[in-house]
């Protein structure tokens, strides 16, 4: 699983990165976590506002910082596992 955080490095982008790390640790899931801070790289995903969250090349969130619990659900859904 590959997860990308799209954003210029603002506070919200950094918070999303940390929360995503926390969600992965709580789920005991290994994923490649990548920061995409290059504006052309961000634009290539067609998002209108940052931060953006991309899981396995699919945009799953943009313009907000979901809670750790919400992120856990999104990650499980991307893996094909239903939330409990």
Joined tokens for residue 6: 């799209």
Q: By the 8 A CB rule, do 23 and 75 touch?
A: yes
The fold of the 2-78 domain, in CATH, is Glutaredoxin (3.40.30)
Task: Quote the pLDDT of residue 80.
Answer: 86
List pLDDT tens digits, range 20-33.
999 999 999 999 99
State how far Cα 5 lies from the chain centre: 5
pTM: 0.91
Residue ranges covered by each domain of the chain: 2-78
As a three-state string, the secondary structure of 7-53 is CCCCHHHHHHHHHHHHHHHHHCCCCEEEEECCHHHHHCCCCCCCCEE
| For residue 83, pLDDT beyond 90 | no
């Amino acid at each position: 699983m590959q997860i990308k955080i799209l954003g210029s490095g603002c506070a919200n982008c950094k918070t999303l990165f940390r929360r995503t790390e926390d969600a992965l640790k709580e789920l005991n899931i290994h994923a490649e976590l990548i920061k995409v801070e290059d504006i052309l790289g961000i634009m290539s995903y067609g998002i209108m506002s940052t931060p953006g969250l991309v899981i396995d090349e699919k945009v799953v969130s943009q313009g907000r910082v979901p809670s750790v619990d919400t992120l856990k659900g999104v990650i499980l859904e991307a893996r094909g596992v239903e939330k409990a």
